[in-house]
Structure 1
Amino acid sequence: MAADGSALPDNLLSSEDLDRAVKNAHAALGQRQQADGHWVYELEADATIPAEYILLEHYLDRIDDALEQKIAVYLRRIQSPDHGGWPLYHNGQFDLSASVKAYFALKAVGDDINAPHMRRAREAILDHGGAERTNVFTRIQMALFGDVPWRATPVMPVELMLLPRKAFFSVWNMSYWSRVVIAPLLVLAALKPIAINPRQIHIRELFVTPPERVRDWIRGPFRSVWGHVFKGLDSVLRPTIGFIPAKTHEKAIKAAIDFIEPRLNGRDGLGAIYPALANVVMMYRALGVPDSDPRAATAWEAVQGLLVHKEDEVYCQPCVSPIWDTGLSGHAMLEAASGPKGIAPEETLVNLRKASKWLREKQILDVKGDWAINAPDLAPGGWAFQYGNDYYPDVDDTAVVGMLLHREGDPANAEALERARQWIIGMQSRDGGWGAFDIDNDKDMLNHIPFSDHGALLDPPTADVTARCISFLCQLGHVEDRPVIERAITYLRKEQESDGSWFGRWGTNYIYGTWSVLCAFNAADISHDDPAVVKAVEWLRSVQRPEGGWGESCETYEGSAHGQYTESLPSQTSWALLGLMAAGRRDDPAVARGIAWLASQQDEKGEWQEEPYNAVGFPKVFYLRYHGYKQFFPLMALARYRNLENSNSRRVAFGF
């Protein structure tokens, strides 16, 4: 039965149709492989970053009108027809900060503020409290353009860069993404530059109260009493900043630059994420560094590298995802090539060997990144998420790539696998789980400071990343790793929700988390009849939709019902199916119906379409749409279902 009690359709897939679906999907995914062996798909966020890119050009007076007009086409297209503003994800609710930035950007490119789309956006913004109620990063953006005073932003003195690791407010206690965004931002806040803004575009009409008359800029959201305490501390510190000795101030700015420049990362940029890249570009301009200086020029080039050019529109990605896309695509291709009905196994294995070689060359073996602050004796051995980001390897990517290299079987992978294994073990946090980039990055009180109104300053362990690490270590099969695995399993058992699901920190949402953990439990030889597994299976069954698929909304990060959406989606359906099959339910009628629905949604090119967002950067603040998810996960699920039909044990043999 579906979640609403209605009967699911009895439209089971024939073996011939299943083979055809796998073959077509395999061919389609294979065509996406780059000549050097890797895959990379678009990674889309909301209106915020494309809008910020336009504003960056106006800040610098490096305006490319033709490019900006194409970005404007994109921004107008994703404006909500319902509420008139911009959401954080497909069909989402109005978001004030995203809407202010999008309006600002469209005004900058020349849109008439009395045009219908601008008027509707402005009315919606004013109805939600106006620009004075935007988040911290938006207020910083406005301060850089002189639209609000700098007192509209929380106190974040650049002297934070001088604090040692043991100091509570040290940047070393923050997540990787916070560290790389904050370091250049602290320099900007210290220098307080004003954008060139050659067309003198401002957004005073978006304020309910004139900015100079706003007295209280810090109004939450407060998640606990600590929010009020830190607001009080902000008020105490603010008048003292001007008394910091000039030499200390200069020393702190130098410390920030000394942190940034070893991590500039060439054409991939600081942290390889847009906010950090843009802040570095503005920082160099504020410091008087010429645009022709190699540091400034390369930083600008890194920003340009995130633009996605279409025929009629352009948008800017938050980052790129080649390591992740290659690892997941490789797993799907191998699954399709497995078993007696494998698809062109020789050709696939040749192409996968190319992917393995490309991945081996991307492994970070010589740079001790920021993670080493908590593990100084641990040798590097991970992979980043992007093409290059050596200071910030990603635990999740490392586990996925490690499982692929092990499964692909090239003897040349052996050293890479051992280095990855040792690094993963060394990155385990004290509670048995794994974070994405750091160890024990869990000083939750930092999420209550005024600067952290997004509530995502940290990188604590999560169920999905932990599950992938268990799967990787179990797939390698070293007996001596069992204590590490058992600690992680204990962590996952504690993290299970009361309804049987697991939270998905990096994918939307409980379906993603539950799939991840069920794969890990299977890899760890936990019985399919274990109460935690049974409860998770029953939850997945309960949220299957009447048409046979699964879907989940980003609203689940904001308190809506777990595992539910208005339609079935290829990515979430694939995760649910893979989770059920990992739990030994390949022959469950719910799985057969889900497979039938998935195959029915495949187009003539062998691909799937999916508009809703399927991942998250920061819950409630920043969401993502991985364009590759709708391609490689359905192939993985269909091929896994086919392969298990020919398996005596019906057991998934791999950790993923």
Structure 2
Amino acid sequence: MTDVLTRELSSTHDRVRSSVSSARRYLQSLQREEGWWKGDLDTNVTMDAEDLMLRQFLGITDERITQETARWIRSCQRADGTWAIFYGGPSDLSTTVEAYVALRLAGDPVDAEHLRKAREYILDNGGIESTRVFTRIWLALFGEWSWSELPVLPPEMMLLPDWFPLNIYDWASWARQTVVPLTIVGSHRPTRDLGFSVRELRTGVRPREVESPLSWASVFHGLDSALHRLEKLPLKPLRKVALERAERWILDRQESDGGWGGIQPPWVYSILALHLRGYPLDHPVLRKAIDGLEGFTIRYRTENGWIRKLEACQSPVWDTALAMTALLDAGTPPDDPSLVRAADWILGQEIRVGGDWQVRRPDLTPSGWAFEFANDNYPDTDDTAEVVLGLQRVKHPDPQRVDAAVDRATEWLVGMQSSDGGWGAFDADNTRTLCEKLPFCDFGAVIDPPSADVTAHIVEMLAARGMADSEAAQRGVRWLLDHQEVDGSWFGRWGANHIYGTGAVVPALVACGISPQHEAVRAAVQWLVAHQNADGGWGEDLRSYVDRTWVGRGDSTPSQTAWALLALLAAGERGDAARRGVEWLMATQRPDGGWDEPQFTGTGFPGDFYISYHMYRVVFPLSALGRYLGKR
């Protein structure tokens, strides 16, 4: 019996080793000559629809771009005529309205079957009257919605000191970069010709307000009404200086690639704002911004013609850091040329200039890494932690250079710890919730409080640097233990969802000296085992962010299965659950060494905006299988 078991274990080990080798070769084949990795980043078609609307507003439409984009949007329409915000998700009203408008811009006739089906869904679900604020802003730009029926974002908020409630630094970095240009757009209240009307999408019925008259939401609705009355006054003594300050704020934050923050919303709204401030389209700032958008496009040929889609963001630093760790976990020698090239590129991306984070941490020496190719104003703690975790394991020919960068980054990360012991992604102590009560904020997260996944990555990094007993690490551990869910899992802010959070936290706790037998770790293990799918994998549908009946439930995916395995292996689990998870990964691996994953497992804004990172389906399974071999 012992001999049979030994042969079975040896056979499994050989198969896992073969799977790891195949995945490693595949991942290395994706590396760019400069040393970085970047997978495609899929979101939803609002990016593409708004790109066409932006071009219509600016008068720079291009028939090739329009038709290629329209093909992409049509390809994402479901059989019921709607569009969703993630693969397999429910129909989304605002996304469907924006897609409808974009296809009308492309010349699709209003009586076409696919638009008729979309229109029926829109009208059955409240029409454009029930769409989110951002959708109605786009409609207002073309006179299809009244500016007076949109929440007011007065540019005078630029004059509020950073200690005053609702100043721009109370907003999360991504929201701040969007709100500032929108104060300019909203003050101008422009309208341009759409070329048609979408009155057919109106129901004539306004949604009913459900807030209690004693709630903060009701208070801010009252404030918004007062602001609307003030907007009608002919004299606004502070308006001129406020608009000038907003304009300068935007100009000061344009990145080398022409964009703002490396993400689509601030980019397009900053273009609109500066154009409305009188900047011609051939002005160097706007020319650079508009041309830069092309670097975020993906084009490929299909049987129906070329398709063009726009990435909402790009993730080369994140992808490269995760790829380095995956290769190292898979047994790649630390001085392998692919790792040295990656380290060289990463070292060149360190940010040594200040940014908005200095408002809360003015005395901290700049360092860190951003998510994107160009986003020096906004390094983030999550990327920085993952970069350090990878860099410190590489055997680089210039170790002093690596050590210096790692030391700077570590000091910066410790300084970015919030007062409660956790870490947010871009700012420290970005926790004032008043912003969330504004009528404008009906879409997406608008503050950046500490989260379990980010805190865990930084705690794990501190432990890897020999700082597990430091005050910063121990405060982070206490934060993580205090924020464990009652069911034993942890909420995942930047990945789907409790599987991501739990997969990050358990390895961090164990790395910091928490025993695998600790009650928090055992509760997490029990939760993971209880939520393993019958096929051996793990999955969690993104609806878990808004409906707790979906927590831990969903089709098995490579990335989520890997996250669960990373937690189980860190907790010393090598029993049936881990074995079945490993078997699922091997069974679903493609012949080329990669995996398929149509599901979205990344999170932008919980409940509203989700991401499919194409690299996730490779790097995380490789790390999990590599660690499984390493712990055998």
TM-score band w.r.t. shorter chain: over 0.9
- Which residue is equivalent to 2:219? 229
8 Å CA contact 2:220–2:439 kept in 1: the answer is yes
- Which residue is equivalent to 1:460? 449
Output the TM-score relative to the length of structure 1.
0.91
| Counterpart among 25, 28, 37 of residue 27 in structure 1 | 25
- Which residue is equivalent to 2:3? none
Bigger shift: 623-632 or 526-535?
Answer: 623-632
- Which residue is equivalent to 2:54? 56
In the alignment, does 2:288 pair up with 1:301?
A: no
| Counterpart among 166, 169, 187 of residue 166 in structure 2 | 169
Give the deviation of 1:287 after TM superposition: 2.1
| Counterpart among 377, 381, 391 of residue 395 in structure 1 | 381
- Which residue is equivalent to 1:323? 317
- Which residue is equivalent to 1:381? 367
Name the CA distance, whole Å, in 1 between partners of 2:350 and 2:510.
27
- Taking the TM superposition and a 5 Å limit, the aligned residue runs for 1:183-262 are 183-197=180-194, 200-209=195-204, 219=209, 225-243=215-233, 245-262=235-252
- Which residue is equivalent to 1:652? none
- Which residue is equivalent to 1:507? 495
Name the CA distance, whole Å, in 1 between partners of 2:555 and 2:41.
22
2:51 partner letter: Y
Name the CA distance, whole Å, in 2 between partners of 1:222 and 1:468.
40
- Taking the TM superposition and a 5 Å limit, the aligned residue runs for 1:68-467 are 68-81=66-79, 83-197=80-194, 200-209=195-204, 219=209, 225-243=215-233, 245-311=235-301, 312-338=306-332, 345=333, 349-365=336-352, 367-410=353-396, 411=399, 412-467=401-456
Call closer, same or farther: CA 1:171–1:154 in 2, change over 3 Å.
same
Call closer, same or farther: CA 1:536–1:242 in 2, change over 3 Å.
same
Name the CA distance, whole Å, in 2 between partners of 1:610 and 1:11.
29
- Taking the TM superposition and a 5 Å limit, the aligned residue runs for 1:509-528 are 509-528=497-516
In the TM superposition, what whole-angstrom CA distance separates every residue of 1:346-388 from its partner, at most 9, and x where no partner exists?
7x721111111111110111x2110100110001111001011
Name the CA distance, whole Å, in 1 between partners of 2:213 and 2:568.
36
- Which residue is equivalent to 1:529? 517
2:472 partner letter: V
8 Å CA contact 2:100–2:118 kept in 1: the answer is yes
- Which residue is equivalent to 1:66? 64
Name the CA distance, whole Å, in 1 between partners of 2:287 and 2:622.
41
Name the CA distance, whole Å, in 1 between partners of 2:550 and 2:129.
33
Secondary structure at 2:116 match in 1 = helix
Structure 2: which 5+ residue stretches go unaligned?
1-7
Name the CA distance, whole Å, in 1 between partners of 2:414 and 2:102.
46
| Counterpart among 492, 507, 510 of residue 480 in structure 2 | 492
| Counterpart among 467, 473, 476 of residue 462 in structure 2 | 473
Give the deviation of 1:80 after TM superposition: 2.0
- Which residue is equivalent to 1:4? none
Call closer, same or farther: CA 1:566–1:217 in 2, change over 3 Å.
closer
Secondary structure at 2:612 match in 1 = strand
What percentage of aligned pairs have identical amino acids? Answer: 39
Secondary structure at 2:611 match in 1 = strand
Give the deviation of 1:223 after TM superposition: 12
Give the deviation of 1:193 after TM superposition: 1.8
Call closer, same or farther: CA 1:455–1:279 in 2, change over 3 Å.
closer
Give the deviation of 1:564 after TM superposition: 3.5
- Which residue is equivalent to 1:543? 531
Name the CA distance, whole Å, in 2 between partners of 1:11 and 1:334.
23
For these two proteins, the number of residue pairs brought into alignment is 618
8 Å CA contact 1:471–1:519 kept in 2: the answer is yes
Bigger shift: 90-99 or 306-315?
Answer: 306-315
Give the deviation of 1:458 after TM superposition: 0.4
Call closer, same or farther: CA 1:208–1:353 in 2, change over 3 Å.
same
1:178 partner letter: A
1:330 partner letter: M
- Which residue is equivalent to 1:654? none
Call closer, same or farther: CA 1:221–1:317 in 2, change over 3 Å.
farther
Name the CA distance, whole Å, in 2 between partners of 1:562 and 1:461.
23
Give the deviation of 1:237 after TM superposition: 2.2
8 Å CA contact 1:551–1:563 kept in 2: the answer is no
- Which residue is equivalent to 1:14? 12
Give the deviation of 1:76 after TM superposition: 1.2
Secondary structure at 1:305 match in 2 = helix
In the TM superposition, what whole-angstrom CA distance separates every residue of 1:134-185 from its partner, at most 9, and x where no partner exists?
1111111111111011012101111111111122111111110011111111
| Counterpart among 555, 572, 586 of residue 567 in structure 1 | 555
In the alignment, does 2:583 pair up with 1:625?
A: no
- Which residue is equivalent to 1:7? none
- Which residue is equivalent to 1:611? 598
In the alignment, does 2:600 pair up with 1:600?
A: no
Give the deviation of 1:224 after TM superposition: 8.8
Secondary structure at 1:499 match in 2 = coil
Give the deviation of 1:337 after TM superposition: 2.3
8 Å CA contact 1:154–1:218 kept in 2: the answer is no
8 Å CA contact 1:323–1:397 kept in 2: the answer is yes
- Which residue is equivalent to 1:43? 41
Secondary structure at 2:309 match in 1 = strand
8 Å CA contact 1:224–1:448 kept in 2: the answer is no
Call closer, same or farther: CA 1:34–1:224 in 2, change over 3 Å.
farther
Call closer, same or farther: CA 1:224–1:91 in 2, change over 3 Å.
farther
8 Å CA contact 2:172–2:427 kept in 1: the answer is yes
Call closer, same or farther: CA 1:224–1:46 in 2, change over 3 Å.
farther
